[in-house]
């Protein structure tokens, strides 16, 4: 077995289940790569998981004013620190497709509590998809065995969020439209997934479209915050 991040060989004793069912062996990180990533723990904003807050953070208060009828709830696994930025750079911008498996264990654990939810990944524009060759969110969900529904299409090919200032991100226009699958979400629980939550602008734009189709619950999730 090789580390799902650095690709170095991992030597450990296999369990009986893994010996009998070798295909059940999930990707893992080596000890050093496990230590690189900081999982979000308390205190963190109860609404968006922003580390360091014991109550609703200032950003969430601003979003609540803008979307007063949206019962916003976001969860994330890791802090968006230098280690995570390096991983996302290698995976998303250098296109190392192998890294889609880096967080399989954590993703599967999180989604084990979302069995009856409709999962939707944030889409790429057609141009961005052909440039990158894959949707990074869809890829890490598929690697973890998570089924998704295509509910949104990105209609605008804006500059990458990483190339924009915070104010430019917040001022970005609505970039999404609904697909024909959107009729399936009425009175259903929907989970919208992205790779990283920074300003929240992308997720709120996508949620704005989803909400018009009356899901019972709409929550959001990202690997990092």
CA distance 219 to 140: 19
Same domain, residue pair 32 and 46: no
Position 1 scores a pLDDT of 83
Summarised one tens digit per residue, pLDDT across range 46-55 is 999 999 999 9
Q: What is the pTM of this model?
A: 0.90
β-partners of residue 39 are 78
Same domain membership, residue 213 and residue 113? yes
Q: What is the mean predicted confidence (pLDDT) over 103-126? A: 97
pLDDT digits (tens, 9 = 90+) for 107-117: 999 999 999 99
Domain co-membership, 147 together with 216: yes
pLDDT in tens, 65-99: 999 999 999 999 999 999 999 999 999 999 999 99
| 118 and 198 fall within a common domain | yes
- Which phi and psi angles does 153 have, rounded to 5°? -125, 140
Residues 24, 77: one domain?
no
Question: Do 163 and 192 have their domain in common?
Answer: yes
pLDDT of residue 159: 64
In CATH, what number is assigned to the domain containing residue 152?
A: 3.40.50
Residues 3, 24, single domain; the answer is yes
Q: Please check whether residues 128 and 158 belong to one and the same domain.
A: yes
137/129 Cα distance (integer angstroms): 12
Q: How confident is the model at residue 20, as a pLDDT?
A: 54
Specify whether 6 is located in the same domain as 64: no
Domain range enclosing 4: 1-36
Structure tokens, 93: 């911008």
Total domain count for the chain?
2
Alpha-carbon torsion, ordered 124, 99, 106, 206, to 10 deg = -10
Confidence of residue 164 (pLDDT cuts 50, 70, 90): confident
Per-residue pLDDT at 13: 62
Same domain as 80, residue 2? no
In the numeric block, the tokens 């790569």 are attached to 33
pLDDT tens for 169-200 read: 888 899 999 999 999 999 999 999 999 999 99
Q: Identify whether residues 27 and 47 lie together within a single domain.
A: no
The two structure tokens encoding residue 75: 């969860």
User: For 3-151, where are the E strands, in sequence order?
Assistant: 74-78, 118-121
7: region left, alpha or beta (phi > 0 left; psi from -120 to 50 alpha): left
Which tokens in the block code for residue 71? 């019962």
């Amino acid at each position: 077995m090789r580390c799902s991040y650095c690709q170095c060989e991992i030597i450990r004793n296999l369990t009986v289940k893994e010996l009998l069912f070798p295909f059940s062996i999930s990707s893992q990180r080596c000890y050093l790569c496990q230590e690189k990533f900081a999982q979000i723990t308390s205190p963190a904003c109860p609404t968006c998981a922003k580390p360091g807050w014991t109550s609703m953070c200032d950003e969430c208060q601003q979003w609540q004013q803008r979307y007063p009828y949206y019962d916003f709830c976001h969860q994330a696994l890791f802090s968006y620190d230098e280690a995570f930025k390096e991983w996302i750079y290698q995976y998303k911008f250098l296109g190392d497709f192998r890294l889609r498996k880096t967080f399989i264990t954590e993703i599967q654990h999180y989604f084990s509590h979302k069995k009856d939810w409709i999962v939707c990944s944030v889409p790429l524009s057609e141009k961005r998809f052909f440039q990158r060759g894959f949707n990074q969110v869809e890829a890490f969900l598929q690697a973890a065995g998570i089924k998704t529904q295509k509910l949104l299409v990105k209609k605008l090919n804006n500059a990458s969020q990483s190339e924009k200032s915070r104010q430019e991100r917040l001022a970005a226009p609505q970039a999404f439209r609904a697909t024909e699958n959107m009729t399936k979400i009425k009175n259903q629980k929907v989970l919208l997934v992205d790779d990283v939550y920074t300003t929240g602008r992308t997720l709120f734009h996508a949620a704005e479209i989803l909400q018009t189709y009356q899901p019972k619950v709409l929550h959001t999730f990202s690997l990092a915050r």
